Amino acid sequence: MKHHLDIYNNQPMNFEMILARYVKFANANSSIQSVQRPVIMKAFEHLQNLELISPINSGGSKLQKEYQLFKLVATPRQIVDAVKLSSGLPTEVVQWANSSLV
């Protein structure tokens, strides 16, 4: 999501956009183990439950959840700092957070 903000100048994002960026990153880094779509969706929902991302529109929308727009509440700098301070994160998460734009 940090990469999305950098590329699209803080524009809202949805699950499909983030999934596409992850797949591109995983394919570009052969050492990264690919994760199944349902697992990524669960992680995306977890970020929403933690209020790290918040929906743009109100609950009245009938969009499929994959296409609902969200904004990232944390700043890219906060993400980088949190990754640096967190121990026990999977290597893939650290690599993705610290990678250049893909």
For 18-69, the pLDDT digits (tens) are 899 888 888 887 677 778 899 989 989 998 998 889 998 755 567 788 999 9
Q: How would you classify residue 29: left for phi > 0, otherwise alpha for psi between -120 and 50, otherwise beta?
A: beta
Q: How many domains does the chain have?
A: 1
Going by pLDDT thresholds of 50, 70 and 90, the confidence category of residue 1 is low
DSSP 66: G
**pLDDT tens, residue by residue, 4-16:** 666 667 788 999 9
Tell me which residue range forms the domain holding 14.
Answer: 2-98
Asked if residues 26 and 32 have their Cβ atoms less than 8 Å apart, the reply is yes
Distances (CA, A) of 92 to 23, 47, 95: 13, 17, 5
DSSP 59: T
E strands, the chain, in order: 53-55, 70-72
E strands, 3-102, in order: 53-55, 70-72
